[in-house]
Amino acid sequence: MKIYGSSLPHIPWQERPQGCGSPVWRYTENPIIPADALADSNSIFNSAVVPFRDGFAGVFRCDDTQRNMDIHVGFSSDGIHWDIRPETVPLTRRDAELPPCDYRYDPRVCWVEDRYIVTWCGGYHGPTIGMACTTDFETFVQMENAFLPFNRNGVMFPRKIHGRYAMLSRPSDNGHTPFGDIFYSESPDLELWGRHRHVMTTAGGWQATKVGAGPVPIETSEGWLLFYHGVLNSCNGFVYSFGAALLDREQPWKVLYRTKPYLLSPKAEYERTGDVPNVVFPCAALCDADTGRIAIYYGCADTVTGIAFCHAEEVVWFTKEHSF
């Protein structure tokens, strides 16, 4: 299996624990980012990480002690120990008519062509997908919102599809959405979005209530490897787990395979106990194209940030062997 991407030999990594038969395993030192890593942070979770220069950069969801939701920049030499800036991400507005954001949360970051594209759920008459671009994680140029309210989980593809930029999203409502399918959209210019296509819906069990795209898809010769979250509505509230799907490389709205069983579900104490219990929510994945090693960054109980590990080839095999 070929992985189309960069050589990243220095990504965080820990070998599979002895006796572990799962294709995905947790870092034994989780959580890597505590809730109080900033002086006024209530929680830090659902955040994005990318390779940057000799190390890594990230855009982090940091809810403060007033419970404002916003995003902050962080840097790390090893992808585990992070220096997160106390100030929120500033936006340079080249058009005075660009819509303001009432809040920003659950960011993703994707390198596309010559810049990083940052997407997040932003408040503009309800939740929708805000966007900005940067080359240095110092200056962030605000772009037009991708869609009208209500929408969440905007995840860019790392290359154009048939000459157009591509994004996954999940249309929703104004609240804690009790439904949700994944959709695909294209744009010629990162401003006007259309050609909307349905990708996947719920499927029972751990993904019976809603599904949403997680990290930026990883391109392989078997298809786009997409980690996605699924939600079960239990008698004690929502339970967030995550699985994987393979999407067609040239028509990514077509699902080739998707996992019946989850890959990771809340079992560790830091995943089960927090502001929102029983949540694992992946937002970023670092993949070394040479070895297929993947480090997945995920939010835990809407409170802290953890890492899980896997091999791309094993996850692809597992997805194909345990598909619908």
Give tens-digit pLDDT for 256-308.
999 999 999 999 999 999 999 999 999 999 999 999 999 999 999 999 999 99
**Mean pLDDT score of the chain, rounded to an integer?**
97
Residues 13-41 pLDDT 10s: 999 999 999 999 999 999 999 999 999 99
Residues 43-67 pLDDT 10s: 999 999 999 999 999 999 999 999 9
Q: What is the pLDDT of residue 85?
A: 98
Residues 124-160 pLDDT 10s: 999 999 999 999 999 999 999 999 999 999 999 999 9
Is the distance from CB of 279 to CB of 72 less than 8 angstroms?
no
Q: How far apart are CA 141 and CA 91, in angstroms?
A: 6
The per-type count for the chain, helices as H runs and strands as E runs, is 2, 22
Paired tokens of 302: 């809407």
Fold of the CATH domain 27-321: Tachylectin-2; Chain A (2.115.10)
CA 128 to chain centre: 16
Beta-carbon contacts of residue 204 (< 8 Å; ≥ 6 apart): none
Residues 72-130 pLDDT 10s: 999 999 999 999 999 999 999 989 999 999 999 999 999 999 999 999 999 999 999 99
Continuous segment of H or E residues that includes residue 186: strand 182-187
Paired tokens of 1: 């299996």
Beta-carbon contacts of residue 163 (< 8 Å; ≥ 6 apart): 188
Is the distance from CB of 247 to CB of 223 less than 8 angstroms?
yes
For 292: left if phi > 0, alpha if psi spans -120 to 50, otherwise beta; the answer is left
